[in-house]
Amino acid sequence: MDLSSAVEYAVATNPRILEAAANRRAVDQELEEATGAYLPRLDIEGAIGPQMLERPNASNAANLGVWRLSREVSLFARQTVFDGFARANEVYRQEARIDGAAARVMERAEVIGLEAVETYLDVLRHRRISTSRPATSAFTANCWRACAHGSTAAPPPLASCARRKSASPAREAVHADILKAVGAADARFQNVIGREPLKLAWAGLPRGLPPSRRPPWRFARTRHPALQAGGADVNAAEAAFDRTRAPHLPRVDLEGRATIGRTSTARRGRTTTFPFACRCRGTSSTAASTGAAHARGRARHGEQDAARPTSPDGGRDRAAGLVGHFRQRPAACSTEAPEVGRDRGDCHL
């Protein structure tokens, strides 16, 4: 396994990336639900049961006060002509949420890829350190034999032998720490990449490194997924604010109903009705909900502007906090406006 294949496998199978991708698909379904509001609404109703009619002033009093079996089927259709741009703003909000979810998928993929590279190099580094133990042990054994039995040349000083003897337990402790670090690196490799670190190829220096840190800083400042997700959240908040204006505008619906059945009316027989109406609804309310939504939108703009650094040093110092800040933010704000002093009136045309 080489470094590129390890990164590809980790990005393709990591559960955190799969979770972000599933959230992206869930937002797609919510967008389809928002676009479905443009379609007409059809409701089918059916009723059956005993019914008695009491109408003292009816012309035909023979059927009054008699229980009869009533049964009817109704088809109700409604098409919204104008709703104060609530449906359009909801579609815009869901589209912004999709952009934010896609950016978060890319962000998690980059984080997992970076962790895979660090883990891969960490395993190679610890294994290279652990391979130097036989040579160190052989050198230590030769020094002990020279101190104990002497050599053909001049014997080593007694102080040197004592120093080497006292350093032997510390050397064994260091070897134990190295073996522990090797095991921890292997465990992290399996956790991040999802495979055992077997037959790892040596990783060389990457190609195409920029000559300085300013080009990648400029690229990250404009194209980083965390910033793109934050911008998408700002757009979603703006669409949610525009949606709060819809209750202050009139709503126009086209409604029609077709009813077929037998009821206990003054006239016996089947009853068929086909009413049709154009209904206009108006709402008058205070501006408290609109003001609160506008304040939330301005706060989102302020957070997004404050999150952008103006220099490479500031970007490096605040990168970790920036990524963590946008990870903890919700995908979109709530669009439900509180009901404050609302009076409704209907008008039939």
* Residue 209 belongs to some domain of the structure: no
Domains in the chain, number: 1
Domain containing residue 339: CATH number:
1.20.1600.10
- pLDDT by position in tens, the chain (length 349): 888 889 999 999 999 999 999 999 999 999 999 999 999 999 999 988 887 777 666 555 556 667 878 888 999 999 999 998 999 999 999 999 999 999 999 999 999 999 999 999 999 988 888 877 665 666 666 665 666 555 545 455 555 566 656 666 777 777 788 888 889 999 999 999 988 888 888 887 777 778 888 888 888 888 889 888 989 999 999 999 999 888 888 999 999 999 888 765 545 567 778 888 888 887 665 444 555 555 665 666 566 555 555 444 444 444 444 444 444 444 433 434 434 334 444 444 4
* Residue 210 belongs to some domain of the structure: no
* Residue 211 belongs to some domain of the structure: no
* Residue 295 belongs to some domain of the structure: yes
Q: pTM for the complete prediction?
A: 0.63
What is the span of the domain harbouring residue 197? 3-204+219-348
Quick one: three-class SS letters along the chain?
CCHHHHHHHHHHHCHHHHHHHHHHHHHHHHHHHHHHHHCCEEEEEEEEEEECCCCCCCCCCCCCCCCEEEEEEEEEEEEEEECCCHHHHHHHHHHHHHHHHHHHHHHHHHHHHHHHHHHHHHHHHHHHHHCCHHHHHHHHHHHHHHHHHCCCCCCCCHHHHHHHHHHHHHHHHHHHHHHHHHHHHHHHHHHHCCCCCCCCCCCCCCCCCCCCCHHHHHHHHHHCHHHHHHHHHHHHHHHHHHHCCHHHCCEEEEEEEEEEEECCCCCCCEEEECCEEEEEEEEECCCHHHHHHHHHHHHHHHHHHHCCCCCHHHHHHHHHHHHHHHHHCCCCCCCCCCCCCCEEEEEEC
* Residue 212 belongs to some domain of the structure: no
